[in-house]
């Protein structure tokens, strides 16, 4: 009877671990998709920049596309940078935390900090 209970508990743990791994994979896939998209945006911006420097130049549509891609890229960069700053803790040489109060407040609001 104990073996049956232990076997059921082990099976449940394995199923939960598998479920957690699948959730992590989906989450990581979302990041991978976003990274791949931003890499494609950056590549297209660079293609348009090279064409703009050439004798052919850019068409009106390409100039508009370049502006839109730059806006998208900059918005994504700002979002990522803000997230990094919000996750950061700063310590002085003595090991005392000196994270700015504004950042601490944001961390508390997002549930990233208890104190």
Q: What percent of the chain clears pLDDT 70, i.e. is strictly above it? A: 73
Instruction: Sketch the domain layout of the chain as residue ranges.
Output: 2-109
- The pTM score is 0.62
Q: Is 34 helix (H, G, I), strand (E, B) or coil?
A: helix
Each residue's pLDDT tens digit, 33-68: 888 999 999 999 999 999 999 999 999 999 999 999
Tell which phi-psi region holds residue 95, choosing left (phi > 0), alpha (psi between -120 and 50) or beta: left
């Amino acid at each position: 009877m104990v073996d049956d209970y232990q076997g059921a508990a082990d099976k449940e743990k394995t199923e939960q671990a598998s479920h957690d791994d699948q959730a992590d994979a989906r989450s990581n896939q979302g990041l991978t998709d976003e990274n791949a998209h931003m890499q494609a945006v950056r590549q297209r911006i660079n293609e348009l920049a090279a064409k703009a420097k050439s004798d052919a130049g850019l068409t009106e549509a390409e100039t508009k596309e370049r502006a839109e891609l730059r806006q998208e890229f900059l918005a994504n960069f700002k979002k990522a940078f803000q997230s990094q700053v919000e996750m950061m803790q700063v310590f002085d040489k003595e090991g005392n935390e000196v994270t700015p109060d504004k950042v601490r407040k944001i961390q508390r609001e997002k549930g990233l900090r208890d104190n």
